[in-house]
Amino acid sequence: MRSSRGRWVIALACLVSLGGCATSTRLADLLHPAADDAATSALAQASPTADPDTTGSIGAGASAAADAGLPGNPGDDLKFGQEQYRAGNFDLAERYFGRAAEANPRDPEAWVGLAAVYDRQRRFDLADRAYDQVLAIVGPTAELLNNRGYSYLLRGDYPRARATLLAAAARDPKNPYIKNNLALLDKSSRSRKAAQ
């Protein structure tokens, strides 16, 4: 179990490092819904000072080759899922992440990818199942709690978002992703109250 957690942490660190590459998209892109989504627009308007690079906590790269029907190696499926996610091809990303999770059901990266895709597709019941799988594999890490808290924020479930993000902050108080999500939550809450 310890080696699985270590592998996940190392893999997550590698994914996070991609965020600084000139060829990769911002880290937050893996968790934010499409720009034309009304909820995203409301969140963006409620948080004009939030740094979009520090609201998500995982990322991936883009490639046109991913749709070419390449071999079904679980590592390739994970890589292609990440690439398709970044390219905004959520149906393809779901397929690749699903194949990776099926081939290796204990791979937290595949499940986190599926959860992020489901969040983007607003299929929150499936996102919850994927987050539960990651939780069973690695436990309540700060990164997982942050991602799940952001998922609740997307749904407008501010009480659960707050509780989950505060639990993430308790595990990693200096994490900028968690801090920005808490700030985004506060601004979204105030904005919602003002509208009512």
pLDDT in tens, 83-105: 999 999 999 999 999 999 999 99
| Residue 191 pLDDT class (50, 70, 90 cuts) | confident
State the pLDDT at residue 51. 43
| pTM for the whole structure | 0.66
Within 13 A of 115's CA, how many CA atoms are on the CB side? 29
Q: Which two tokens stand for residue 42?
A: 């409301």
State the pLDDT at residue 75. 73
Mean pLDDT for all residues in the chain? 74
Answer yes or no: is pLDDT of 167 > 70: yes
d(CA 69, CA 53): 31
Q: Between vectors from CA 59 to CA 15 and to CA 81, what angle results, nearest 5°?
A: 100
- Average pLDDT for 158-169: 97
State the pLDDT at residue 49. 37
